[in-house]
Amino acid sequence: MNGRVFIIGLGLIGGSLALCIKKAHQDVTIIGFDINREQARLAKMLGVIDEAAENIPDGALDADLIIVSAPVNDTKSIIQALANLALKPNVIVTDTGSTKRTIVETAINLKEKGITFIGGHPMAGSHKSGVSAAKEILFENAFYLLTPDENTPASKVEELKKWLRGTNAKFLTVTPHNHDYVTGIVSHFPHIIAASIVRQTEKLSEKEQLIPRLAAGGFRDITRIASSSPKMWKDILLQNREVLIELLNRWQDEMNTVKELLESGKGKEIYEYFSLAKQFRDGLPQKEKGAIPSFYDLFVDVPDYPGVVAEVIGYLAREKISITNIRILETREDIIGVLVISFQTEEDRERAEKCILSYTSFSTSYGL
């Protein structure tokens, strides 16, 4: 395909989509706009966009595809602004917001002008923000939710999927209402819980200095997403309030059940509680990216000598194996314990393990 693609909001998601679109359609021109000029400048400098627009009309008027990728409250005002412009009649407008109901409602203004709006939500991301975290592989194999309505021409939905082909995502059509209910459960609510665990820990740390130093593997795993953008999550929570309040009520019941089990010291029931949770968690699709992203972590026991981390990374670089993250589990003070290296695919993890075992005598595993 060729033409002009205009991306409004050049952060993690807008930037990653720009890279995916360029990969699949090399002849397109990608124009970007971000209210934060520094992000737009960076996007241009990194080659994520071809041109930076001065303002929304500048990029929108002759665009064939417009992707709004700003926080969800801003997305609504941007859609409103687009509805007041004389856009190309054949343009498709879509968004990437984590909520859909109120955005789709706002887009009625576009539809009334005869413009096709198809709500979108790629179900993959990160706790990182900004264009510097954008990557072409972000949506690989993830679900990409679309919310066309009964009046959206099927040809337009197909056209949008073609534009987004480079994401290598799996498209799924849902209603905006169903979208907000399901993502409320598997995405929005866990972010509240992660933030609340961190807040509670912070408060308790005031009187016990050892707490942050001991907050290691489990704490870090369950709270990674608490490092996400507060602005993005403030907007999401406000737009999915009803669902989240209902889930909070259920959660309080759930916690009361656990409290009662503890108070009455019911060992068998406590075992059962964890066992049922394990069964459901273990049964979730492992290799699919979705609300639960796949982490292909390799755990490497490394001895304590200077440069050991660089050495391991050097071996992987030599074999051209890309890594997505690296961290050291600080479970024991003064000892480099376990190096956790994350990969994008199972294949990369397997290659990395072979590579490390061939160059070193370090032990490796897929979990602690």
Ligand X SMILES: NC(=O)c1ccc[n+]([C@@H]2O[C@H](COP(=O)([O-])OP(=O)(O)OC[C@H]3O[C@@H](n4cnc5c(N)ncnc54)[C@H](O)[C@@H]3O)[C@@H](O)[C@H]2O)c1
Bin 326: left if φ > 0, else alpha if -120 < ψ < 50, else beta. Answer: beta
Asked if 125 is part of the footprint of ligand PRE (rule: CB under 6 A), the reply reads: yes
**Does 8 participate in binding ligand X (rule CB under 6 A)?**
yes
Binding mask 230-259 toward ligand X (x if CB under 6 A, else -) reads --x---x-----------------------
The entry of ligand X, ligand PRE, none near residue 9 (CB within 5 to 8 angstroms by kind) is ligand X
Residue 184 contact, options ligand X, ligand PRE, none, Cβ 5-8 Å cut-off depending on partner type = none
The 10 Å Cβ neighbour count of residue 136 is: 20
| Candidates 2-10, 111-119, 123-131, 324-332; binding stretch for ligand PRE (CB under 6 A) | 123-131
Helix 230-239 to helix 241-263 angle (10° resolution) is: 100
The size of the interface with ligand X (CB under 6 A), counted in residues, is 31
* C-alpha 139, offset from chain centre: 9
C-alpha to C-alpha distance for 273 and 269, rounded to whole angstroms? 6
Closest CA to 132 of 228, 18, 48: 48
With respect to ligand PRE, which residue has the nearer C-beta, 215 or 225?
225
Residues 44, 88, 127, 135: which binds ligand PRE (CB under 6 A)? 127
- The reply on whether position 344 binds ligand X by CB under 6 A is no
Interface pick for ligand X out of 5, 7, 14, 239 (rule CB under 6 A) = 14
The answer to whether residues 7 and 14 touch, using CB atoms and an 8 Å cutoff, is yes
Site string for ligand X, 28-57 (x = CB under 6 A): -----xxxx--x------------------
Binds ligand PRE by CB under 6 A, chosen from 24, 225, 270, 329: 225
Per-residue CA distances from 201 to 167, 210, 211, 366 (Å)? 38, 11, 8, 28
Evaluate whether 69 touches 96 at the Cβ level (below 8 Å).
yes
**What phi-psi label fits residue 365: left (phi over 0), alpha (psi between -120 and 50 degrees) or beta?**
beta
Q: Give Dmax over CA atoms of the chain in angstroms.
A: 68
SS3 at position 93? strand
Q: Which is nearer to ligand X, 37 or 213 (CB)?
A: 37
Q: Which of residues 65-84 bind ligand X (CB under 6 A)?
A: 69-72, 74-75, 78
Interactions with ligand PRE, residue window 70-109 (CB under 6 A): 98
225, interface contact from ligand X, ligand PRE, none, CB < 5-8 Å by kind: ligand PRE
Give the span between the Cα atoms of 158 and 268, in whole angstroms: 53
Is 166 one of the binding residues for ligand X (CB under 6 A)?
no
Which helix (H) or strand (E) covers residue 329, if one does? Answer: strand 325-329
Q: How many CB atoms lie within 10 A of CB 53?
A: 20
Q: Which does 10 bind (CB under 5 to 8 A by kind): ligand X, ligand PRE, none?
A: ligand X
To ligand PRE, the closest distance from the beta carbon of 16 in angstroms equals 12
Q: How many CB atoms lie within 10 A of CB 242?
A: 12
- Residue ranges that bind ligand PRE, judged by CB under 6 A: 98, 123-127, 187, 225, 228, 291, 293
- Residue ranges that bind ligand X, judged by CB under 6 A: 8-14, 33-36, 39, 69-72, 74-75, 78, 96-98, 121-122, 125-126, 129-130, 229, 232, 236
